[in-house]
Amino acid sequence: MAVFGGRRREDNPALPPGQHLTESFPVLSAGPTPSMDTADWEFFIHTETGKTHRWNWGQFLALPSADITVDIHCVTSWSKLGTSWRGVSLDTLFAEVETGFDFVMAHSYGGYTTNLPLEEILDGKAWIAYEYEGAELDPEHGGPARLLVPHLYFWKSAKWVRGLTMQREDNPGFWEEYGYNLHGDPWREERYS
């Protein structure tokens, strides 16, 4: 009798529970890939006072950037180790932002949303990435720029990100509204709520 094993779940300390390794880069999105010209692109951070901080593509690229090598973990159970990115730290983008709220809602071109606690995207934990493996970020992987929050499940790393809106409560984003975890820590297997 043949026994179904599923994907090999290897005993690798870099793998969170229930994850398997992949060499490819599977594409998952809740909608079509928006066609985005960097001439029309902007990134914003909107706060509770009504103030909106904005960067166009040129201003964004002029910010100090960092090379980032991280492991990424998709809730659908694949993990990819040692991926390399280039992007702007959220610490840089939040340098001039004053807010008393503890949560953000990330908004994407195309309408996708995902919620995050502010403390999970500061202190060197998150970036707006615009290069992957040394090349400009492919549209199907979120180009021109995506959120990169590698220590949470990858649906939190919103593709085609266009801005962050501060929020008082941790209101759910797109997948979170339908039962995915508000927080999404792969090491605690926070897949569903």
Give the binding site for other proteins (CB under 8 A): 1-7, 22, 24, 27-33, 75-76, 111, 140, 155, 175, 177-180, 191-192
CA pair distance 182, 176, nearest whole angstrom: 6
Task: Name residue, tokens 């043949």.
Answer: 2
User: Which is nearer to other proteins, 27 or 62 (by Cβ)?
Assistant: 27
Q: Do residues 117 and 102 touch, judged by C-beta distance below 8 A?
A: yes
Query: At its nearest, how many Å lie between other proteins and the CB of residue 18?
Result: 8
User: Which is nearer to other proteins, 20 or 53 (by Cβ)?
Assistant: 20
Query: At its nearest, how many Å lie between other proteins and the CB of residue 174?
Result: 8
Query: At its nearest, how many Å lie between other proteins and the CB of residue 48?
Result: 27
Query: At its nearest, how many Å lie between other proteins and the CB of residue 96?
Result: 35
Query: At its nearest, how many Å lie between other proteins and the CB of residue 83?
Result: 17
User: Which is nearer to other proteins, 30 or 61 (by Cβ)?
Assistant: 30
Q: How would you classify residue 133: left for phi > 0, otherwise alpha for psi between -120 and 50, otherwise beta?
A: left
Alpha carbon 91 to chain centroid, angstroms: 15
User: Which is nearer to other proteins, 48 or 177 (by Cβ)?
Assistant: 177
Contacts of 147 (CB under 8 A, 6+ apart): 106, 114, 121, 126, 127, 128, 129, 156, 157, 158, 159, 161
User: Which is nearer to other proteins, 99 or 110 (by Cβ)?
Assistant: 110
